[in-house]
Structure 1
Amino acid sequence: MPEDVFGAALPESELPSRKFQLTDKDQRSVSERVRDCLDYPLLYEMAELLPAPSAAGCPREYPAIVYLIMAALTPVTKSKRSTAGLLASPQEWRRVRAGVRRHLGRRVAAQLPLDAPSRGQYHYAVGKLLVPSIDLLEEEFRRYATQQALVQGLFPAGVHKVWSRPERRQLLVGDATVPKAPSKSRLRETVDPVTGELRNHRVDPAARDYYENGEKAKRLVRGTKWFFASGRDDGYWTRVILSFAHVAGGAYGDEAAVAVRQFTLLKSELVDCMGVVYDGAFRGVHRDALARQGLLAVNKQHGSVVPVFYERVTACRRGHSLWCDQGRIAESVRLDDGTRILEPVPVTKLEHRAGVSKSRWYHVLLIPCRHGSHEFRVPVGITTTPADRALRGIDGRPLKSDSQRGFHRAELLQQIPEPTLSHQLVYPYRSDSESVHSQFDLSLWNRRMIAYGVERQKVFVLGFALSQNATSHQVFRARQNAQQVSATA
């Protein structure tokens, strides 16, 4: 049988292990994380985007950069109270003043008061300064994060692209997580069953019920759902969070729709990105949208998909009955006992054709036959519609599109089929999204969101992404300097 470009799937015991023990030198203390944030250029660029102090009313005591620094430090210290307490230390406040002096100059640093702001002052600034400008800050974050990823060697240009076996640094990874609501209360007022006293409770207006862990092992969680997209290379602290978004709906389709929008925005900036690794929330309609933009969509096939007849090829007297099975084309083969099985047809090439407005993807098959193997090209990943380019048969007549025939090609035929070695090697990159979620949970006090309302929570999520990228930026600079020193030695 001809060799398959994706390779035959291996037992889990024979797959290479990618787990590495975190060494002591890779650990990052709170003090180092604080220093990373103070030396992150994006914070100081964002400060220029915030509105200047108003001439009317009470004058602003602290410049905008101070509140952005506190927003980035809050996920590091896990609470606003801890952040205010940290900066209340004269030593830490001097470090803040020194960081402002390095990036904004002596004049701005000299305008800082001798004492750090209180928690109440920061809480007020979040509502009056950061929340009204959060969309502008998020856009600037996405722009800078994509540039940071390119500088750190992610999504490199000029590197040979192997579509059947992409590298980790050439792929986007995304997923959504639901941190617990800041309070368990669902009602603002309850009656004490013993005393009859009316009790007031603080309720998060943005919290709702979500289901996690897929459809087989659903777990009910109440909170707000947040989507993160990131890219990384091998090694610790190489990850760059590229985008985040709030998922308002509770269905898996809502999460997938948000993910597709975010990946679409990132693709316009990361032109050399090869694809996306996601979980089972992606269905055919989502893979279709990404494949049209020239992206691989690597995820697991939905459990409800069953084999579907595709076509009968009559390239020889024998003929070959082709079916869609497990995300690829398989041939119906008759055994000696009269039963039939679906045998995967070898794929010799995953072909990508980039067009002006959309891309096309093909599996180049080599159908084994006693009369000689037949080459056969099958479109994959995209469900054609009447709006697409019309295909014509041998007789010149136009062929019906997939949607007109009721054939969901994007759902049935994957670009990288699941039961292959390529899928076994590429799909585990999705675990990096779980690492992002773990870091996000660890940045929360008692693993609960520390803000009420979507707007204030988005400020916290922005601070989390800033603090993570700040450490990645500093670690990359340190490794780059170490390489230069060793090269000159």
Structure 2
Amino acid sequence: MTSPPKTSSNQPQAATPKAANSAALPPKAPAAAGKSGKSKKAKPYAIGPTPDDVCGSAADKPEPRGPQAPRITPDQRFTALAHNQQLYQVALAVLPEKHDGSNGRPPGFPPYVYLIFAASISIFGSARSTQAHLRRSLYREYLKQGVTECLGPQEADRLPDTGPTSSQWYYYRLKMLGVLSGLREASRDARIAQAFGVGLLGTAGPRGTWIRPNRSQVIHGDGTVMKPTDQTEPVTVDEETGEIRNHYVDPDASIQTEGGGRQVYGSKYLTIVTRLARMPHSRMILNIDAVRHRAKPLDPEKFNEAAAAVKMAMEVLAAAPGIKAVTYDTALRGVHSAPFIRQGGVVFTRRHDGIKPHEVAECSDGKCTHSLYAAAGRVCERRITVEGNTLYSPLPVREFEVRGNGKVRFYHVIEIPCSSGEHTMRIRVYATEEDREIGAGGQGGKFNRTEHLRQVPPETPAGRRLLGFRQDSKSTNSRLDQAFPHERLPAYGSKAGLLIVIGFAWAQNALTHLLHRLTK
């Protein structure tokens, strides 16, 4: 163990936060009566300052802000939807055109009209409002112009002189739910192809590095709970009159906890999105699915949020190898990040509270010995200060190495300051078989390396930059909530809700695609 560094007036002391701030802050008032007055237990160690390294410097300028997004009217959104070539291709390839049997109501409209109807619900707020708009001559003309451009004038002449009713929509929706899995996958592939067309996913435009990827090379995931109707009980009894009322209740909704501990009643949906840097209305939704939020026996067809996030991100990565990074919230733990890292991606999440420092290696050349620990998401040197406190001093990362083609391996080449000369050491930041078997340092138990050591440490300029990119997911969820009155999804059941969310993605991506065509 090296001797602790000498303290001076221009070097911060390694005291606990309480001791360091006691002289600058006024004394606290005594606890109010009836309260225990207990404070949060201080950590038995301190983390040193973040050094300047390949992850950025404190002097780095923040990312420049992009231009303000212009207002988009419902007419523009519907026009973009009606002129989206990929939408017609998916509808004609996946959706049934006629009734399955000899009996039953005929569809009345081609299948692409009902996919446009599903997407328009997020534009107009409900099926009844969509019916009212599509029965107007203005929107029928928008639709006819789109069909003429994408399928030809003869197909446009086949369209009826009126728009579909909500009754026709609900009847055909049952057939759409029967092929929902195929519709989700075909829509995902079409959206990824559209993303390539506008310069996303690393195929065109500027390319970044692993530490600082271009925004178009980063995908962002997030889950959101969509609220159904406000009825949670199938039968209610009026306490005054004794009247018994039956209600239609969402069979898949339940009370769930979102970020910040807020409880929400509904079903959860997960989206994977990306966007161009400093380009308004350039967001593209790449992948969507409903995720499990109840016990597995009650909902065996779905994955839980973390497992679904990995599956969906891997689906996008398989189709778009130019992706360099994925960002997510703390629902994604180290064990979930490992598969994506093995395929050559950087995973960025915030660090979980309560993760204790863990020994990862020891550097010794006979003259000195340095104990290296994983703390604050990066490699730190453990020291004991003159006050007898434990200090984990972050070590600068001088190089971020990427090796391999099939299974990619990531390393931090760290620098260890020492009075006898600086040392360098290569530390793995990907999960290994050794970690799963014996643990680091020869200790028993497993070592969750990707949980303790992050490829891009959160408390760095590069980490804060990637954290800012996650606002795309939040904006997507906010836009999804605001698309419907009272932020309630107009559907019962997670499958019907997923169909509406798939339509929302078509409307969002069609707008991005059209605006890109107009600006070329």
Query: Same fold judged by TM-score > 0.5?
Result: yes
Q: Distance in 1 between matches of 2:217 and 2:188?
A: 18
Deviation at 1:444, TM superposition (A): 1.3
Q: Which residue of 1 aligns with 2:264?
A: 221
**Secondary structure of the equivalent of 1:300?**
coil
Which string of whole-angstrom CA distances, capped at 9 and with x for unpartnered residues, describes residues 377-410 of structure 1?
Answer: 011132435899xxxxxxxxx9989996422211
Contact kept? 2:332, 2:349, Cα under 8 Å = yes
Alpha-carbon separation, structure 1, partners of 2:223 and 2:255? 14
Which of 384, 397, 416 is residue 456 of structure 2 equivalent to? 416
Change (3 A) 1:250 1:354: farther
Count of residues paired in the alignment: 459
Contact 2:323 2:345 in 1 (8 A): yes
Q: In structure 2, which of residues 321, 330, 336 is the aligned counterpart of residue 280 of structure 1?
A: 330
Call closer, same or farther: CA 1:140–1:404 in 2, change over 3 Å: farther
Contact 2:207 2:213 in 1 (8 A): no
The residue number in structure 1 matching 2:150 is 103
CA separation in 2, counterparts of 1:294 and 1:444? 38
Alignment counterpart, residue 482 of structure 2, candidates 419, 439, 442 = 442
Structure 1 vs Structure 2 CA RMSD: 2.5
In the other structure, the counterpart of 2:36 is none
Kept in 1, the 8 Å contact 2:395–2:416? The answer is yes
Aligned-residue offset at 1:304: 1.4
**1:236 Cα deviation from its structure 2 partner:** 0.9
Tell me how far apart the structure 1 counterparts of residues 273 and 350 of structure 2 sit (CA, whole Å). 19
SS at match of 1:224: strand
Q: Which residue pairs with 2:245 in the alignment?
A: 199
TM-score (norm 1): 0.88
Distance apart, 1:123 and its partner CA: 1.2
Which residue does the alignment assign to 2:96?
51
Distance 2:397 2:324 in 1: 20
* Matches of 1:222 and 1:85, distance apart in 2: 30
Residue range with higher mean Cα deviation, 97-106 or 455-464: 97-106
Matched with 1:377 is: 426
Match of 1:342 among 386, 392, 397: 392
1:64 aligns with 2:111: yes
In structure 1, distance between residues paired with 2:138 and 2:454: 57
Cα deviations across residues 38-72 of structure 1 (Å, max 9, x unaligned)?
10112210221222314722433211121111111
Assess, with a 3 A threshold, how the Cα gap between structure 1 residues 160 and 241 changes in structure 2: closer, same or farther.
Answer: closer
Q: For residue 458 of structure 1, report the CA deviation from its aligned partner.
A: 1.6
Which one of 225, 233, 236 corresponds to residue 187 of structure 1?
Answer: 233
Is the Cα–Cα contact under 8 Å of residues 55 and 462 in structure 2 kept in the other structure?
Answer: yes
- Superposed CA offset, 1:322-356 (max 9, x none): 11110111112343445442111111111111243
The answer (yes or no) to whether the contact 1:386–1:404 under 8 Å persists in 2 is no
Match of 2:374 in 1: 324
User: CA 1:403–1:299 in structure 2 vs 1: closer, same or farther (change >3 Å)?
Assistant: farther
The match for 1:151 is 197
| Preserved CA contact (<8 Å) 1:209 1:250 | no
User: Is there any run of 5+ residues in structure 2 with no aligned partner, and where?
Assistant: 1-49, 296-302
Q: Which segment drifts farther, 278-287 or 237-246?
A: 278-287
Match of 1:297 among 347, 367, 370: 347
Asked if structure 2 preserves the Cα contact closer than 8 Å seen for 1:206 and 1:224, the reply is yes
Q: How far off its partner does 1:361 sit? A: 1.2
**Aligned 8 A contact 1:131 1:459 in 2:** yes
By how many angstroms is 1:106 displaced?
2.8
- Tell me what 2:78 maps to: 34
Structure 2 CA distance for aligned equivalents of residues 78 and 206 of structure 1: 22
Contact 2:439 2:446 in 1 (8 A): no
Q: Which runs of 5+ in 1 are unaligned?
A: 389-397, 481-489
Alpha-carbon displacement from aligned partner over 1:230-261 (angstroms, at most 9, x marks no partner): 1111211111100001012259x921111011
Q: Name the counterpart of 1:487.
A: none
Q: Provide the rounded CA distance (Å) in 2 between the counterparts of 1:43 and 1:74.
A: 15
Among 503, 506, 515, the alignment partner of 1:466 is 506
Please tell me whether the aligned partners of residues 381 and 411 of structure 1 are also in contact (alpha carbons under 8 angstroms). no
Cα deviations by residue, 1:2-40 (Å, 9 ceiling, x for unpaired): 952113457xxx9636555635xx211111111111101
Q: 2:179 aligns to what SS in structure 1?
A: helix
Q: Percent identity?
A: 32
Q: Deviations over 1:398-443 (max 9, x none)?
A: 9989996422211111111112111112211001100000110111
